[in-house]
Structure formats: structure tokens, C-alpha cells
Chain A
């Protein structure tokens, strides 16, 4: 299934971000550019510390980049754009402990909608993530996976154009992670949400994505963009046994180790390998 984008929801180009301290300038993002089409799930993958979270914060408008443009719906952003939803990695800190689950989910639209409409939307959201029965509990009464589901419900309540997810499943155990991944896929299939997700887990990236943007280590650039044509709906067992999944997985893994796309490296013999990281022998899967 190729990306059915009639619209480009998010467009990032020439993004550069530096962290300046008295002593030095650290370049987190050197030159990053990609697009996210409507209804797509785009996953950004990269080694730890490569600035993935910085990237997401910039797209969310929480951080102003040193250089580059971000455009949502064709319009360059200035601060936080409209129509965003976001899910953070640390659910225990991103949910408000003084509000019950329902109130947490209602939070983004509290001032925008009136009470009956708000409640209806919140209940819809909670039902979509399967937590209708927990609406009156406090977040700390729920398990980690359920808390993150509340966070997802909260992100969806305002009917966002674009949902940003910052390593959302990194803080839960493996089994919960699979459940949450499937939940995301189900929501995507049903509601057609556009998602930009950041992760360091290669399996997750291939499993979830329509397209994977691979970032190099800092100063980060886009090493490659990998299209994932695996059939939807996806399944934890079947999809992950599919040879194409394995191949894509290996490709992404290879890209993360060396900057070169292994698919490109399979070139006519004699073509020089430029820019290969010499500090480590490049393990190129053939």
C-alpha cells in the first residue's frame, strides 16, 4: 500500500538545531527534511542521543529551531501550530494526577467546547482506547499501559490533524508494548489519524510505519527514507514473520550502523564507498 497522501500535513525542510553553551556549540540536528502525508504513519528512527526528541519538540512548536522551516498544512509554523495531539514517553508525569481519567482526557478541549460536547468527545476517545470503565479513576490507580492509553485518548480528543508521539512505548514492558502498538494500528485504521512517531526500536518502526525516516547520529541528517509496503492490517505474529519485514528490518538496522543505505551499497563493483564511517567496520548485509 503506497502512501495515500493527497495532502501533505507536515513538511520539514533544512532543519538545523544547535545547542549553545558558554563553552561550545553542539549541533543536534544538522540538516533534516521529510514530509508526512495525510493519513500516513511516519516513524523516525535513530540511535540514542541523535536528536529525535529535539526534532519532535521543534515540530510541536515547543522549541524554535536554529534554522529550517516547518510547515503544517502548507503554512509555516510560529510557535505551537493548531490541531496537534501529542503523547509523551513518561506517562506518569504527563498526565495530571489531580484530575480523574475523564477530566484528563477532556483537558485539551476544556475551553474550546461546552460541557455536553466535551463529555461526549471524551467518552468516545476513552471508548476508542478501551478505557470507558476507568473514566472515574485517578491515573495512579491504573497500570502503566492504561495510563499511556489515557494519554493517547487525550491526544485524540481534539480531533487532531497530526499526532506526535515521543517514544511512547519505551517505558512499558514488552507485552504491553505489543498491545499498545496494535492499539495504535487499530486507531489508525479506524480513524485515519496522521502520525509522526519517534522511536529507537527498529522492530517497532517497521511494524508501525508507512514510511521510516532514519536519522544518523548527531549531528543528525536523514540517512535514508524507507518505504514500508507491508500489508495492513498488520499482525504481531504474521507480519513479523514475513520475509519482507525481516528484510526491511535488516535494512534499517544496517542504516543505523553505517550511514549508508545497504540497498544502495549493492552497486556495480568498483564504485567507491564514500563517506563510510571508518571507525567501525561496516557490516553490510548482502
Chain B
């Protein structure tokens, strides 16, 4: 959201700016509001089998996922049965893959020779679509949580790895020269120069990794799973309860938005300095 929204900010004198702000704010939500209204009207009148109106879907979301006692933060059964396991798997896989990706990426980014050695395999690994591995995972490793997390980690690893490698390799030589001339010790050079300089690219990789992790957690829950949002989707499909399917989609969407937003917040905080840097001197 960050980059796109920021590029559309208003400018100008204060009072005029406020007016413009309000009108722009309206424009932002306009389409969404219109879409919801149209959908409601269309589905309400001529009841479409596959597109239940928001007036049915949203309450269902509340029923299933938000209807618990205040002791459980109002979260309903379905939340614990499905949202929590999905979230847990995804987070575990993502953090595992991200850590490995950054660590390997830094290592390989710095050691030219090691990179040349390993690169063909990595390119190859990246090219294998993670979903093909699902078949292997199920057959060989069974339906437990572990293999799912492993698959998610593998999927998230590659974009993080490649972006980190690129980021590290692209640190402008002058910055490293500075560290050399001032005889800065290696550890300081790594942590104080290479990592910060590579961070923008690393975050780009993390963003991609997050989307892949989301795709994979849903995928791994389609088959050979007994809980999770992916499972819920398939279950609703099989039982032909469309409203439940849509409810799960809404929850999944909210989850995705929330996770992306969280990553975006972290990124903005860590990269405070990057926004000001003009012209991409370090691109």
C-alpha cells in the first residue's frame, strides 16, 4: 500500500489541501463502495447461486469467526480451528525461509566464487514450481505439519535469497572502499555496511516471499490437511455451502492484507532513510 498510496498524495495550500484530501479520500473508497452496493443489489434481487450478497456473507463471517466469548477476544470457533493453524504454519514457514534466504544471500552475495559454484543449482531450484513439490511432500513425508512448513519455507526462501544476493552484490564499491580505507573490521563491515545497503532489496524479496508463503499455505491445506483456511475452502466447496466459502475467502483476504500491512510497516520503519535518498544512488 505504501508506495502506491504515497505517490498519490495531495499538495498545495493548507485549506485547499484539506478539501482536496477529503475529495481524494472519497475517490479512494468510491469504487469499493459502489462495487459492494451493486453486488448487494444484484445478488439480492436475482439470487445468484455463486455470488451471495454481502448481507449474507458478512454476517456469516461474524458468526463463524467472531462469535466467541470475550474471554477469547470474541474470536469464534472457526478462528481457532482454521485461522490459527494456517497462520501458524505460514509464519513458521515464512520466518524459516526468510532467515535462511537472508543468511545464504549475504554469504553468496559476498563470495563471488561460491556464488558461481552454486548459482546453477539455485536457478534451477527457483524454477521448479513449489506446487510440484507438494506431490512429493505428501507422498514421501505424509500429511503432518512439518512437511507443510518445510514446503512453505522452501517457497519463501528463493525470492528472499535472490533478492538478498542482488542487494549485497550491488552495494556500491565506494562504500566498501570507505570501510577498507578506514580499516574497519570485517564484522563491522558486514553488519554496518553490507546489510544496511542491501536492506531495500531484501525487503523486496521478503514481500514476494510473503505472497508465496500465503499461496503455499492455502495449497498445502487443500489436500492432506484437516484444518486451516485452505481446508475450510475445500470443505465448503465439497459441501456446496457457498456462503461459507465466501466467508473463508473474506477472512483469508483480511489476513493477507493484515500481514502485508505489517510487513510494510516494518519496512517503512527500517528503511526510514531510504525514502529520502533520491535518484536511487544504490540501485
What is the interface of chain A, defined by CB distance below 8 A to chain B? 60-62, 80, 82, 84-86, 88, 90, 92-94, 96-99, 107-108, 110-111, 138, 140-141, 158, 164
Contacts and interface: CB of A to CB of B under 8 A. Distances in A.
A111 B175 contact: no
B172 to A, nearest CB: 5
Nearest to A160: B182
Contacts, number: 74
The majority secondary structure among interface residues of chain A is loop
B131 interface: no
A140 B184 CA distance: 23
B276 interface: yes
A82 B181 CA distance: 9
B281 A93 contact: yes
A156 to B, nearest CB: 11
Interface in B2-23: none
B192 A140 contact: no
B193 interface: yes
**8 nearest CB pairs, A to B:** A108-B182, A98-B196, A86-B181, A98-B273, A140-B276, A97-B277, A93-B174, A94-B174
Interface of B: 172, 174-175, 177-178, 180-185, 188, 192-193, 196-197, 199, 273-274, 276-278, 281-282
Most buried by A among B174, B178, B184: B178
A94 B173 CA distance: 9
B198 to A, nearest CB: 11
Contact of A96 (B175, B177, B181, B188): B175
Contacts of A62: 177, 180-181
Contacts of B185: 111
Contact of A140 (B172, B181, B278): B278
B154 to A, nearest CB: 31
Contact of B273 (A60, A80, A92, A138): A138
B276 A84 contact: no
22 contacts: A60-B177, A60-B181, A62-B177, A80-B181, A86-B181, A93-B172, A93-B281, A94-B175, A94-B177, A96-B178, A96-B193, A96-B197, A97-B276, A99-B273, A110-B188, A110-B192, A111-B185, A138-B273, A140-B273, A140-B276, A140-B278, A164-B181
Contact of A107 (B172, B174, B182, B281): B182
B182 A111 contact: no
A80 B183 contact: yes
A88 B178 contact: yes
B193 to A, nearest CB: 7
B280 to A, nearest CB: 11
Given A97-B277, A97-B281, A111-B185, 9 more contacts: A84-B181, A84-B183, A86-B182, A88-B177, A90-B174, A93-B175, A94-B174, A98-B273, A111-B184
Most buried by A among B182, B199, B274, B276: B182
B183 A82 contact: yes
Most buried by B among A88, A98, A110: A98
B163 to A, nearest CB: 18
Nearest to B270: A98
B202 to A, nearest CB: 13
Given A82-B183, A88-B174, A158-B182, A138 B281 contact: no
Contacts of B172: 93
A97 B180 contact: no
Contacts of A86: 177-178, 181-182
A97 B276 CA distance: 9
A94 B281 contact: no
Contacts of A164: 181
B278 A94 contact: no
A276 B282 CA distance: 45
Contacts of A158: 182
A30 B149 CA distance: 61
B51 to A, nearest CB: 49
B277 A107 contact: no
A66 to B, nearest CB: 20
Contacts of B274: 97-98
A85 B182 CA distance: 7
A99 B191 CA distance: 13
A108 to B, nearest CB: 4
A85 B181 CA distance: 7
Given A88-B178, A94-B175, A141 B184 contact: no
Contacts of A90: 174
Contacts of B177: 60, 62, 86, 88, 94
Contacts of A107: 178, 182, 184, 192
B276 A138 contact: yes
A96 B179 CA distance: 11
A103 to B, nearest CB: 10
B19 to A, nearest CB: 30
Contacts of B197: 96, 98
